[in-house]
A and B are shown apart, each in its own frame.
Chain A
Amino acid sequence: EDKVVQSPLSLVVHEGDTVTLNCSYEVTNFRSLLWYKQEKKAPTFLFMLTSSGIEKKSGRLSSILDKKELSSILNITATQTGDSAIYLCAVRNTGTASKLTFGTGTRLQVTL
């Protein structure tokens, strides 16, 4: 069964700090890894990483996929209180039974 593990489970940092969130996975026939941010209800899409696109960046957020180590990191620099959320990592497999398997998430709290 496909499995995604995120660490740490929760994190409290001060505004301006840099944080690194981790995601490791075990999946049969890996296709892609996705990061989502969940603040109130609906997770919002951040990045998708594949074998042909192992590094993505958007503003203060960036993510790298390490296919050899079966893992990914999400970096947030110069954190702001608006970055407080649950960050979800998910992996998709290939094939007709393709689906997203999610980790339990990392809860990030940014304080003043």
Chain B
Amino acid sequence: KAGVTQTPRYLIKTRGQQVTLSCSPISGHRSVSWYQQTPGQGLQFLFEYFSETQRNKGNFPGRFSGRQFSNSRSEMNVSTLELGDSALYLCASSLNTGTDTQYFGPGTRLTVL
């Protein structure tokens, strides 16, 4: 069974631009969660999507948004990029919303110059 895949793996953008990251969950998994990981803050929860609906949201500004498609694939968008958005963005999938165990993808390393 294929694991969680994320594209692209690396991305370099400049301040003010926007970016879209993609996540394909494990086959059969319907919940996708997104996290931002930085050296100082660790893994911070961005949001969770289940059945194309956002179920939960972390404490991030509205520049961070996401969506989920009918095949459970999810995208995350960050608009008006800031230097502080440089981070590893991880997505994790689970069978259902609220399922304890989440399986992580390899992440997208975003660098904002």
Contact = CB atoms under 8 A, between A and B. Distances in A.
A6 to B, nearest CB: 9
Interface string B29-66: 00001010000011111001000000110100000000
Contacts of A100: 33, 45, 102
Q: Which of A34, A40, A90, A100 has the most CB atoms of chain B within a 10 A radius of its CB?
A: A100
Contacts of B103: 45
Interface stretch (B14-22, B68-76, B77-85, B104-112): B104-112
Interface of B: 3-4, 33, 35, 41-45, 48, 55-56, 58, 88, 90, 97-98, 100-107
A99 B56 contact: yes
Given A48-B100, A92-B100, A42 B48 contact: no
Given A98-B56, A99-B56, A99-B58, A32 B100 contact: yes
Contacts of B106: 40-42
Interface residues of A, number: 25
Given A99-B48, A100-B33, A48 B101 contact: yes
Interface of A: 31-32, 34, 36, 40-45, 48, 50, 88, 90, 92, 96-105
B42 A102 contact: yes
A48 B90 CA distance: 20
B90 A43 contact: yes
Given A41-B106, A42-B105, A96 B55 contact: yes
Given A88-B42, A105-B43, 4 more contacts: A32-B100, A42-B4, A42-B90, A102-B44
A108 B43 CA distance: 17
Contacts of A45: 101-103
